[in-house]
Amino acid sequence: MSEKKEIEEIVEECCAVFRRRQIEGSLPCAKRTLDILRQIVTNKRHSTAAALIDEIRTVGYRMQVARPVELAIGNMVRRVLHVIREEAKQEEIDESKPAASAPSATEDHPRGQGSGLLTQAFKGRLQMPRGPSLSNLLDDPQIFSATLAPIAEGAATERGPDPEAESQASARPSAVKGQNKKTPANWKGKHEVIESINELIDELDHIQGSITTQGVEHIHANEVILTIGMSDTTFFFLKEASKKREFQVVVAEGAPRYDGHLMARKLADAGITTTLIADSAVYAMMARANKVLVGAHAVLANGGVVAPVGMHVVALAARRHSIPFVVLVGLHKLSPLFPTDPDLLYNEFKGPADVIDFDILGEAFTQQQQLHEASTAAAHPSLASVSGLDSAANPLVSSSGPLLASGPVASAASLGGASTFDVASSSGLRWDPLPGNVHVPTPLFDYVPPQLISLFITDMGGRTPSYVYRLLTEYYSREDYFLSREVFGKDGR
């Protein structure tokens, strides 16, 4: 009992950490997620794979919700779920033909050999049917219904309370077994799962390295590479390439965060010829570039990416000049969601401090307030209604909090609430007075559509956006694409 409580505390603490943004960046978030999941698998008892899947899914959904922009959290949860499902499937195959187990014993445990995930996926495909495909359309009815049904059932549960169908959907692989052998205390596939999670963590540790070593292949002598803002992956990639190649880098500063400044300094320190430009000069400089190399926040199912703000403009400029736009991403950032998915919250808004000085803001506010008071005293209702500001709801407070906009394009309406301040049309400001309300939204991310992207360089090599669908089937099970569905179904929504 205490053991359960402990896990509960750990999960809650982790969620709080995510919520408070004490961990930044997808890689640390992914590692933390895997760590928690490993603890759950190791320390808690689950009699069947289904029970384990259920628990991981619930916890995973909680963690994802704690930090919805960090898609890597959900991705790691899906990967672990996929591993468990595969293990359960394998077990079922083993059980169905115990007589033939002797010759195939070595094949049955491909994960025990410490091979990479890719080899596993490859081996896995040889033995087990991968997701639904034309070639198994007519195959064993069970394979097909097992892969297809959960989606339909999951959707059904979303609409009407039908928790039984949902639990059956996830329980299918081993429900029968669970009934037959009365609870062997702990599901025996766990060791394999834990091992796989360890491998995943290991893989995350080496992700940067496996991307950067490809630098030499993609950068040629005397090239001009354009990048925007600061990205560790991009920096190490360029640094690695500079050991063998001579090339120039043009860095756009990446307003409003200006992390391009840091990037330029680091590159220069590494002995690479570096030019720093303003974001507004990207189009002008693009004519001279040979390649655009950038990092990204997430890769979506259609091959589009979520990347730091300003990226879409760079991509469009690159397209206009027919310059390859190459994105460096680790596959932990691969998300099975589409930009149109209602589940996907991909943008985050920061406070206006990066765009406008708080001093000016503060001044504007005091001015505004004075004016407001004066106007109310003078019974001037028109001005008060125009400014729409009352002292109780100080917009500064709301503007410092994060706001999430849903959908691929943050609508103006949702931006409105993000960070609003009023500038009174009065004299005495250092800054030119503006009439009425001025909104200062500072979104963190852009969405770049797949047709603007030439290539992804991942830890598994180069991939085109049109290949992303294939990576998805390799790493995730279709039942797990939407983490929320079954959870909602459970609540009997």
| Identified binder of another protein from the candidate list 303, 310, 441, 489, rule CB under 8 A | 303
The answer to the question of residue 135 lying near another protein (CB under 8 A) is yes
The answer to the question of residue 144 lying near another protein (CB under 8 A) is yes
| Identified binder of another protein from the candidate list 131, 161, 178, 256, rule CB under 8 A | 131
The answer to the question of residue 133 lying near another protein (CB under 8 A) is yes
Minimum distance from residue 155 beta carbon to another protein (Å):
5
Considering only CA atoms, which of 289, 255, 296, 291 is closest in space to residue 275?
A: 289
Minimum distance from residue 374 beta carbon to another protein (Å):
43
DSSP 334: B
Taking the C-alpha atoms of residue 437 and residue 457, their distance in angstroms, rounded to an integer, is 44
Binding range to another protein, per CB under 8 A, among 81-89, 94-102, 147-155, 395-403: 147-155
Residues 420-479 that bind another protein (CB under 8 A): 464-470, 473, 478
The answer to the question of residue 139 lying near another protein (CB under 8 A) is yes
Q: 10 Å Cβ neighbour count for 384?
A: 16
Q: Write the burial class of residue 97 (CB in 10 Å: 0-12 exposed, 13-18 middle, 19+ buried).
A: exposed
Q: Write the burial class of residue 102 (CB in 10 Å: 0-12 exposed, 13-18 middle, 19+ buried).
A: exposed
Considering only CA atoms, which of 438, 336, 446 is closest in space to residue 395?
A: 438
DSSP 299: E
The answer to the question of residue 122 lying near another protein (CB under 8 A) is no
Start-end of H helices in 160-230: 163-180, 190-205, 207-212, 215-218
**What single letter denotes the amino acid at residue 274?**
T
Between 258 and 338, name the residue whose CB sits nearer to another protein: 338
Q: For the chain, what is the radius of gyration of the CA atoms?
A: 26
Which tokens hold the place of 67?
């930090």
Residues 220-279 that bind another protein (CB under 8 A): none
Would you say 82 and 193 are in contact if contact means Cβ atoms under 8 Å apart?
A: no
Which tokens hold the place of 229?
């803002």
Binding mask 152-171 for another protein (x = CB under 8 A): x--x--xx------------
Total residues in contact with another protein, by rule CB under 8 A: 34
Binding range to another protein, per CB under 8 A, among 33-41, 269-277, 291-299, 301-309: 301-309
How many residues belong to the chain? 493
Binding range to another protein, per CB under 8 A, among 3-11, 73-81, 131-139, 179-187: 131-139
Binding range to another protein, per CB under 8 A, among 129-137, 213-221, 228-236, 419-427: 129-137
Query: Which residues are near another protein by CB under 8 A?
Result: 131-135, 137-139, 141, 144-145, 148, 151-152, 155, 158-159, 301-303, 338, 340-342, 407, 464-470, 473, 478
